[in-house]
A and B are shown apart, each in its own frame.
Chain A
């Protein structure tokens, strides 16, 4: 399912550019957002098939964005993979409680990232 559309969200423009690079070279179509409010807007209007969501974001953090989408019947089916620099268990628990489908701790190897994306897309298809 290489034509899927992925929304990548990170507040660092360089990280975002690299995420985009990894996804585009794997054949995905990519939308980007640099803060939580923009992410929410794009998730609701851009019809992404999957969202890669950083936790630390200006305006609305990634957890809040995730909860808002997972709360809504219209968007809850979109798989969300949370990306975070924090490895603490507590974040992990919050991440899962938020309803995120998967949780990746940075640094993430491109292969691992693409694997997770493919898994979640297949599951959503399934």
Chain B
């Protein structure tokens, strides 16, 4: 201390910056990277100046000693621009998809629909959620909405509770919603009481407890958008894991529009609705597998596309009976019909090991590839199918469709013609049990129409 008037050094040295970052990370889980240096420096200067500290090292000592000051600093660092209905498509997905599904599939005894907005800042998100739930007609269906907003910034929470917003916060709000859910006041737009009644706010640190008991579980929906970008990957994994645990089975997690769970969690089912990715906690009821045979232990190996050469037939005394191959094929179909493709692949591999010329097994394999979007593999497998049985009409038809979708019209026409030829030669071949019960006449008409279209587009004919 020099005895001169207190004057704060203007620069945050690299060493100091590292020390603050480490402390903040350790105590909040928030990882401030290079991009946040300015925000960190400004926040530190602001707070240190207030206490008349001439050095950031002194302020560091204060910060370590005083929990309240730590919260104040975090208030400054995490100030976020937010607005109502940020990324409207997510709220639309909540209204048209998530709410109806959850209400319809849950026990009628449960009457509340609980949503947690984690990292709610100044309250725009939880209020938007509440308005969306009211718009979804939750009340008229005999349910009531409960929305909780939590944040690490006590200042933000105060403003959230006040619920009065400047006009620019309402930019994404359609006119009719502004009329329904806001009332103009001298200081801005105030959220109306029916919405406020649904929403509650609390202080909470996502990384460190204490967790209010209300946060322990049973959430139908959790919004945790653009919060995890502050955390390091290990903290993000822990947070997402903890959110997963707190969701009801069948509940949904909303993360930021540009965030992904890849590399963070594989416990959620991801589905896309209206361009929005939704992350659903699976319900405990796992699909029942139809065949009762136990699953072989080498699931992972079998999940890779089986590479059994078509021509590798042992002409003499195969170890297993052909009838075993047929049994495996039956099981595979049952698994595939039930959506359990891994189990189906195991059975198919087994069937093809016994009888590599089993065209039907190759065909199902092709369908599984097709379903998974692996069109190259699908084409290869349908080719092997017709290699094993040239009269396998449906493999020709699928090849035709695949080539047509790639704009390869000459190849497509050849396959449709091959399908029609095969239909004539063997109208009730092994393929016919995959017809879904339709008469071959329908299939003939389908092939003719496809051939026709293809010839017109491809300039052949």
On A, residues with C-beta under 8 Å from B are 11-15, 17-18, 20-22, 24-25, 37, 40-41, 44, 56, 58-60, 64, 67-68, 71-72, 85, 106-110
A to B CB contacts below 8 Å, 27 in the list = A12-B367, A12-B436, A13-B370, A13-B398, A14-B435, A14-B443, A17-B446, A18-B435, A18-B438, A21-B445, A21-B449, A22-B442, A25-B445, A37-B271, A37-B272, A56-B339, A58-B339, A59-B271, A67-B104, A67-B105, A68-B100, A68-B101, A71-B100, A85-B436, A107-B436, A107-B438, A110-B438
Whether the Cβ atoms of B96 and A72 lie closer than 8 Å is yes
A67 to chain B, nearest CB (A): 5
Complex Cα spacing A20 to B353, Å: 37
- The residues of B that contact A15 with a CB separation of less than 8 Å are 435-436, 438
Query: Of the candidates B101, B274, B401, B437, which one forms a contact with A17 in the assembled complex, judged by CB atoms under 8 Å apart?
Result: B401
Q: Is residue B97 within 8 Å, beta carbon to beta carbon, of the partner chain?
A: yes
Whether the Cβ atoms of A60 and B271 lie closer than 8 Å is yes
Name, among A14, A56, A108, the residue most crowded by chain B CB atoms within 10 Å (CB to CB): A14
Complex Cα spacing A107 to B401, Å: 23
Chain B residue nearest in CB terms to A21: B446
Whether the Cβ atoms of A11 and B371 lie closer than 8 Å is yes
Name, among B100, B272, B367, the residue most crowded by chain A CB atoms within 10 Å (CB to CB): B100
- The residues of B that contact A11 with a CB separation of less than 8 Å are 371
Whether the Cβ atoms of A110 and B449 lie closer than 8 Å is no
- The residues of A that contact B434 with a CB separation of less than 8 Å are 14
Whether the Cβ atoms of A106 and B436 lie closer than 8 Å is yes
When A and B form their complex, what is the total count of cross-chain residue pairs whose Cβ atoms lie within 8 Å?
79
A29 to chain B, nearest CB (A): 15
A46 to chain B, nearest CB (A): 13
User: Assuming A15-B436, A18-B438, A68-B100, what are 11 further A-B pairs, CB within 8 angstroms?
Assistant: A14-B436, A14-B446, A17-B401, A18-B442, A21-B446, A22-B442, A37-B271, A37-B273, A59-B271, A71-B100, A110-B439
Whether the Cβ atoms of B442 and A21 lie closer than 8 Å is yes
Q: Is the interface of A mostly helix, strand, loop or mixed?
A: helix
- The residues of B that contact A64 with a CB separation of less than 8 Å are 101
Complex Cα spacing A71 to B437, Å: 32
Decide yes or no: A67 and B100 within 8 Å by CB, A25-B445, A37-B272, A85-B337 being known contacts. Answer: yes
Decide yes or no: A106 and B437 within 8 Å by CB, A13-B398, A17-B397, A67-B101 being known contacts. Answer: yes
- The residues of B that contact A72 with a CB separation of less than 8 Å are 96, 100
- The residues of B that contact A25 with a CB separation of less than 8 Å are 445
A95 to chain B, nearest CB (A): 14
Q: Is residue B128 within 8 Å, beta carbon to beta carbon, of the partner chain?
A: no
Please name the 9 residue pairs, one residue from A and one from B, whose CB atoms are nearest each other, closest first.
A107-B437, A71-B100, A21-B446, A15-B436, A18-B442, A17-B446, A106-B437, A18-B446, A18-B438
In B98-138, which residues have CB < 8 Å from any A CB?
Answer: 100-101, 103-105
Whether the Cβ atoms of A18 and B436 lie closer than 8 Å is yes
Chain B residue nearest in CB terms to A74: B96
- The residues of A that contact B438 with a CB separation of less than 8 Å are 15, 18, 107-108, 110
Whether the Cβ atoms of A41 and B449 lie closer than 8 Å is no
- The residues of A that contact B101 with a CB separation of less than 8 Å are 64, 67-68
Whether the Cβ atoms of B443 and A18 lie closer than 8 Å is yes
Decide yes or no: A17 and B436 within 8 Å by CB, A56-B337, A67-B100, A85-B337 being known contacts. Answer: no
B417 to chain A, nearest CB (A): 16
Chain A residue nearest in CB terms to B443: A18
Chain A residue nearest in CB terms to B104: A67
Whether the Cβ atoms of A110 and B442 lie closer than 8 Å is yes
Complex Cα spacing A64 to B278, Å: 15
Whether the Cβ atoms of A13 and B442 lie closer than 8 Å is no
- The residues of B that contact A110 with a CB separation of less than 8 Å are 438-439, 442
A69 to chain B, nearest CB (A): 9
Decide yes or no: A14 and B337 within 8 Å by CB, A37-B273, A60-B271, A64-B101 being known contacts. Answer: no
Complex Cα spacing A64 to B98, Å: 11
B171 to chain A, nearest CB (A): 26
Complex Cα spacing A17 to B394, Å: 11
- The residues of B that contact A21 with a CB separation of less than 8 Å are 442, 445-446, 449
Complex Cα spacing A44 to B449, Å: 28
- The residues of A that contact B450 with a CB separation of less than 8 Å are 17
- The residues of B that contact A108 with a CB separation of less than 8 Å are 437-438
Chain B residue nearest in CB terms to A38: B272
Whether the Cβ atoms of A71 and B104 lie closer than 8 Å is yes
